[in-house]
Amino acid sequence: MIWSLFHRNKPVGEADLQAWADGRLPPARRHMLDAHFAFHPEDAVRARTYREQRELLGRLADSLVFEDAEDFRPELLEALAARLERGRRVRRAAMAAAVAGILAVSGATAWYGIPDRSGAPPITQAAVPDLLFDPSSFATTEEVAAEEDSIGWLGKHLAGRSLRRPDLETLGLKFVRGSVLRNLQTPAIRLIYEDERGSKLYIFVGVVRGEEEQAFGIVPEGYISLQWRNGPVVFALIAPSDSPQLVYAMQLVSDSVEKEEGGQSLEAAAAAPSEKAPQASAAEKVATPPVGDPGTVPAASESEPAVVPAGGEQSATKPL
Amino acid sequence: MADRSKSTARIGREEAGDGPLPRDGQKRRGRDAVGEDLVQHVTALRRYALLLIGDPAEADDLVQEALTRVLVHTRAWKPVRDLRAYLFTTLHNVFVDGHRRRRMLRDDIPVDSLAGRLATPPSQMDRLELRDLAKALGKLPTEQRQVVLLIGLEGMSYRDAARVLGVPIGTVMSRLSRGREALRHLTHRGAALKLRVVK
């Protein structure tokens, strides 16, 4: 409300008349105007006329009935409803992740679920960026021509379960290549995606064999990380902090795993008793999605309808 | 191309409300909350666009273009919190872009096409009043008409209207004031009130 108590004693102005007509004045100010009208009948007439205009417009709105309201562009509305519902699901997932309380702050994150594997180089702090951006500096890397090779290789470490490459095409992210990261403490692969601007999104997928947790992961300034665990599989997404894709990419990666056919889903695997699959819920290990990333959706206007970003703060989706 | 054959709007809530709607009712029951919200918002968009432009088919085309733009650009990682404001803002931008493309601004509503769709009001007096109002709206400059409709018809707050139109709130208040005052002089109701005061 723009008429705060601070303005209570301001002289009656044009905006007051409009706000009186719209019923948007605080009681004290409204009473002041009522008194004002007694001495300024011309203002009273104007304000009452505006109020009647408003009532008449309301009747006009009520009277305009669209016979095809339920059938208006059904395919378009169905597609849009599905898109919006998808957004709500992502929001719920993001909120759940926030509630889980696992921090993923731009610049510094914690990693969970990497077991020790003797003889292999330890995964230490600051390892994730090296691992994802320049794996040759840390692990023996085997670039594979077909991304399914790296996925298939990792799938062998999942006790017969299979993985499917996350499809991020709907985010405008094209798969670039996959790499097998050998000689790490855990079987792991790296997947690289790229958007049309050339910004890269890195996905780390590893298989956990124990309950041990080892924190690491200093993300360089300007980057943001999402890390979570789904049963025996651990994930990390790292991308420039102005990337809008991370939260949804997380959802797609999870969906992709859960929808895998021909084998037990990872979620089910995580829930089922297994000597190799530690019992850790995804919710416990889900990292908080990036908060307040500036979006890159093209917009024509400076105005900004409210949108809900991950974590519930103001995001940057702009009108189109 | 939009399907214009179904672009019909008519006055008479009681007709639509009391009529047999088994098919629509089934659709409503089968639609989720998002879909229900969307239908309501789209109906409001169509109403606003119709009163903004005056031509039902053109108004529905505008709404369709806005919805398409929303569909293309909405991303699930940035869910929309205020769907109504988002849709209206997009509609406004599409409207402005359309005018830019055509390099012309038409500041009048072809009232006849709208008035012809105002059918079966509760009384003849109401019908005349609504026609009168529609004609007066058509004579307002577009910018004033937008503000009057968003605030008076859709019940938006001044702040939301400012966001939708991409202008400062002071501009909204100014346009609202001028628009309503123009309406007051253009409608018989305003003239009648004037007469009563004179007495």
Distance (Å) from the alpha carbon of A279 to chain B's nearest alpha carbon: 29
- Over chain A, what is the mean pLDDT? 63
Quick one: average pLDDT of B40-59? 89
Of A38, A63, A88, the residue at which a domain comes to its end is A63
Question: Cα(A245)–Cα(A239) distance, rounded to whole angstroms?
Answer: 9
Q: Is residue A156 part of a domain?
A: yes
Q: Which residues of A touch B85 (CB under 8 A)?
A: 305-306
Q: Residue A53: its pLDDT value, please?
A: 92
> Are residues A86 and A186 part of one domain?
yes
Q: Is it the case that residue A118 has pLDDT exceeding 60?
A: no
Nearest Cα residue in chain B from A73: B64
What pLDDT digit, counting tens, does each position of A137-181 carry? 444 555 544 445 777 777 777 765 667 788 888 778 888 888 777
Best residue in A301, A304, A313, A318 for a mutation probing chain B (most B CBs within 10 Å): A301
What pLDDT digit, counting tens, does each position of A37-60 carry? 999 999 999 999 999 999 988 888
Of A246, A298, A305, the CB nearest to B85: A305
Strands A108-109 and A140-144, sheet pairing: unpaired
For A99, residues 6+ apart whose C-beta sits below 8 A from its C-beta are none
DSSP letters, A223-255, are EEEEEEEETTEEEEEEEETT-S-HHHHHHHHHH
Residue with tokens 């705060």: A4
Distance (Å) from the alpha carbon of A163 to chain B's nearest alpha carbon: 24
Provide, rounded to the nearest whole percent, the portion of chain A with pLDDT above 70. 45
Q: Residue A134: its pLDDT value, please?
A: 52
Provide, rounded to the nearest whole percent, the portion of chain A with pLDDT above 90. 9
- Over chain B, what is the mean pLDDT? 73
Q: Residue A166: its pLDDT value, please?
A: 84
> B129 lies in which domain range?
23-198
Q: How many domains does chain B have?
A: 1
Q: How many domains does chain A have?
A: 2
Q: A164-184 b/e with 16+ CB inside 10 Å = b?
A: ebbebeebebebeebbbbeeb
Question: Cα(B95)–Cα(B189) distance, rounded to whole angstroms?
Answer: 31
Q: Residue A59: its pLDDT value, please?
A: 84
Best residue in B7, B64, B75 for a mutation probing chain A (most A CBs within 10 Å): B75
Other C-beta atoms lying within 10 Å of the C-beta of residue B2: 15
Contact by Cβ (8 Å): A226, A246: yes
Which of A13-22, A80-89, A172-181, B74-83 comes out lowest in average pLDDT? B74-83
For A84, residues 6+ apart whose C-beta sits below 8 A from its C-beta are B34, B38, B74, B79, B80, B83
Nearest-5° Cα angle at B130, B125 to B134: 150
For B150, residues 6+ apart whose C-beta sits below 8 A from its C-beta are B48, B88, B156, B160, B161, B164, B165
> Are residues A245 and A183 part of one domain?
yes
Q: Residue B37: its pLDDT value, please?
A: 81
Q: Residue B48: its pLDDT value, please?
A: 92
Contact by Cβ (8 Å): A292, A187: no
Best residue in B78, B113, B185 for a mutation probing chain A (most A CBs within 10 Å): B78
Q: For the domain that residue B193 is a member of, what is the CATH number?
A: 1.20.140.160
Q: Is it the case that residue A192 has pLDDT exceeding 90?
A: no
Q: Is it the case that residue A196 has pLDDT exceeding 90?
A: no
| Residue with the larger pLDDT of the pair A297 and B152 | B152
Which of A42-46, A186-190, B54-58 comes out lowest in average pLDDT? A186-190
Compute CA distances A64 → A126, B14, B134, B184, whole Å. Answer: 63, 11, 12, 22
A53 contacts B184? CB cut-off 8 A: yes
Determine the straight-line distance between the first and last CA of chain B, rounded to whole angstroms: 56
Q: Is residue A320 part of a domain?
A: no
Question: Cα(A175)–Cα(A202) distance, rounded to whole angstroms?
Answer: 10
Q: Is it the case that residue A214 has pLDDT exceeding 50?
A: no
> Are residues A95 and A147 part of one domain?
yes
Q: Residue A316: its pLDDT value, please?
A: 32
Q: Residue A320: its pLDDT value, please?
A: 54
Provide, rounded to the nearest whole percent, the portion of chain B with pLDDT above 70. 60
> Are residues A206 and A101 part of one domain?
yes
Which of A42-46, A103-107, A242-246, B66-70 comes out lowest in average pLDDT? A103-107
Quick one: average pLDDT of B11-30? 37
Of A57, A77, A308, the CB nearest to B38: A77
Question: Cα(A36)–Cα(A45) distance, rounded to whole angstroms?
Answer: 12
> Are residues A259 and A110 part of one domain?
yes
Specify the amino acid at residue B140. Answer: L
Question: Kind and range of the H or E element at A123?
Answer: none
Nearest Cα residue in chain A from B91: A320
Contact by Cβ (8 Å): A268, A232: no
Contact by Cβ (8 Å): A26, A34: no
Q: How far is CA A43 from the centre of its chain?
A: 51
| Residue with the larger pLDDT of the pair A115 and A169 | A169
Residue B64: which pLDDT band, with cuts at 50, 70 and 90? very high
Q: Is residue A318 part of a domain?
A: no
| Residue with the larger pLDDT of the pair B111 and A198 | A198
Residue B143: which pLDDT band, with cuts at 50, 70 and 90? very high
What pLDDT digit, counting tens, does each position of A265-279 carry? 333 433 333 333 333
**Of A22-36, A261-275, B68-82, B169-183, where does the model show the most confidence?**
B169-183
Other C-beta atoms lying within 10 Å of the C-beta of residue A115: 17
Question: Kind and range of the H or E element at B124?
Answer: helix B124-139
Distance (Å) from the alpha carbon of B102 to chain A's nearest alpha carbon: 17
| Residue with the larger pLDDT of the pair B193 and A303 | B193
Of A18, A39, A63, the residue at which a domain comes to its end is A63
> Are residues A144 and A24 part of one domain?
no
Q: Is residue A317 part of a domain?
A: no
Residue A82: which pLDDT band, with cuts at 50, 70 and 90? confident
Residue with tokens 């599905």: A82
Residue with tokens 């997009």: B90
Q: Is residue A219 part of a domain?
A: yes
| Residue with the larger pLDDT of the pair A242 and A31 | A31
Q: Residue B71: its pLDDT value, please?
A: 85
B90 contacts A320? CB cut-off 8 A: yes
Question: Cα(A297)–Cα(A83) distance, rounded to whole angstroms?
Answer: 15
Nearest Cα residue in chain A from B66: A320
Q: Is residue A121 part of a domain?
A: yes
Alpha helices in A101-230 (DSSP H): 127-133, 147-155
Of A60, A68, A245, the CB nearest to B133: A60
Residue with tokens 């209206």: B88
Question: Kind and range of the H or E element at A176?
Answer: strand A174-182
- CA neighbor of B183 nearest in space, from A60, A2, A11: A60
Q: Which residues of A touch B151 (CB under 8 A)?
A: 22
Q: Is it the case that residue B57 has pLDDT exceeding 90?
A: no
Residue B141: which pLDDT band, with cuts at 50, 70 and 90? very high
> Are residues A158 and A268 part of one domain?
yes
Q: Is residue B145 part of a domain?
A: yes
> A182 lies in which domain range?
78-312
Residue A1: which pLDDT band, with cuts at 50, 70 and 90? very low
Other C-beta atoms lying within 10 Å of the C-beta of residue A261: 7
> Are residues A94 and A47 part of one domain?
no
A67 contacts B16? CB cut-off 8 A: yes
- CA neighbor of B148 nearest in space, from B186, B180, B109: B180
Q: Residue A302: its pLDDT value, please?
A: 32
A56 contacts B190? CB cut-off 8 A: no
For B66, residues 6+ apart whose C-beta sits below 8 A from its C-beta are B45, B87, B90, B91, B93, B94
Strands A108-109 and A188-194, sheet pairing: unpaired
| Residue with the larger pLDDT of the pair A297 and A17 | A17
Q: Residue A200: its pLDDT value, please?
A: 79
pTM of the model: 0.51
What pLDDT digit, counting tens, does each position of A5-34 carry? 445 567 889 999 999 999 999 888 898 899
Q: Residue B140: its pLDDT value, please?
A: 92
Best residue in A45, A83, A248 for a mutation probing chain B (most B CBs within 10 Å): A83
Question: Cα(A231)–Cα(A112) distance, rounded to whole angstroms?
Answer: 12
Q: Residue A190: its pLDDT value, please?
A: 81
Of A14, A40, A63, the residue at which a domain comes to its end is A63
Question: Cα(A141)–Cα(A133) distance, rounded to whole angstroms?
Answer: 12
Question: Cα(A305)–Cα(A125) distance, rounded to whole angstroms?
Answer: 40
Q: Is residue B48 part of a domain?
A: yes
Question: Cα(A153)–Cα(A223) distance, rounded to whole angstroms?
Answer: 28
> Are residues A85 and A50 part of one domain?
no
Q: Is it the case that residue A244 has pLDDT exceeding 60?
A: yes
| Residue with the larger pLDDT of the pair A63 and B186 | B186
> Are residues A43 and A147 part of one domain?
no
Q: B6-29 b/e with 16+ CB inside 10 Å = b?
A: ebebbbbbeeeeeeeeeebeebee
Q: Which residues of A touch B183 (CB under 8 A)?
A: 53
| Residue with the larger pLDDT of the pair B128 and B125 | B128
Q: Which residues of B touch A53 (CB under 8 A)?
A: 133, 148, 152, 180, 183-184, 187, 189
Q: Residue A201: its pLDDT value, please?
A: 82
